[in-house]
Amino acid sequence: MKQKKSIIHVQGAEITILSLRDDDYISLTNMAAKFGGEDLIYSWMRNRNTIEFLGIWEQLHNADFKGGEFDTFKNQAGLNSFHLTPKKWIEATQAIGIQSKSGRYGGGTFAHKDLAFEFGSWLSPEFKLYLIKEFQRLKDDENDRLNLNWNLQRTLAKVNYKIHTDAIKEKLIPQWLSKESINMVYADEADMLNMALSLVGNKTIKQLSKNL
């Protein structure tokens, strides 16, 4: 499955957004970098309230989530000896809300937007509000482009349909046929043409959507 990558800028920080599992995941690594570094992610995940929030989110969205391991982490949260990394959380509970991506460029810890916004609140309420604003701006822009492509495709389909139906009249229908026969031939050819244009149009729209 093709992975789409987008970039937004929030208070001078460059934040990467990936489309995974048909949803948007925001880079916690980029967010933490603005406030001091990736250790902030580990500090956030040591918090009992964070563990509870992550666990409830997984229970709502992930049928394979391991609740037993979640309860173990929740009971240990707050202890001085407790330490939890994104990778450990994912492997132990089969969580899907947080993703750990490898690679020097574009790697790091990503979280579903619901969780990323929560991390943003923990970092800075002001930063969270600007993050939501820029994220929504990105989504609005993507929707505008999708609508533009859709309207363009519909317009082209209408123009092509008119051109081809005129060609049917001129080239495929013998003039010596009766009016009733002409209408039947024209209707059959036009229906076939409409079906072909519809299939091509749908394929084009799907391709445009993937490229957005």
Tens digits of residue pLDDT in 126-150: 999 999 999 999 999 888 776 655 5
Q: Residue 189 has what pLDDT? A: 58
Q: Residue 41 has what pLDDT? A: 97
Mean pLDDT for all residues in the chain: 81
> For the chain, which residues score pLDDT lower than 50?
1, 205, 208-209, 212
Q: Residue 156 has what pLDDT? A: 58
pTM of full prediction above 0.75: no
Q: Residue 209 has what pLDDT? A: 46
Nearest to 95 by CA among 85, 104, 103: 85
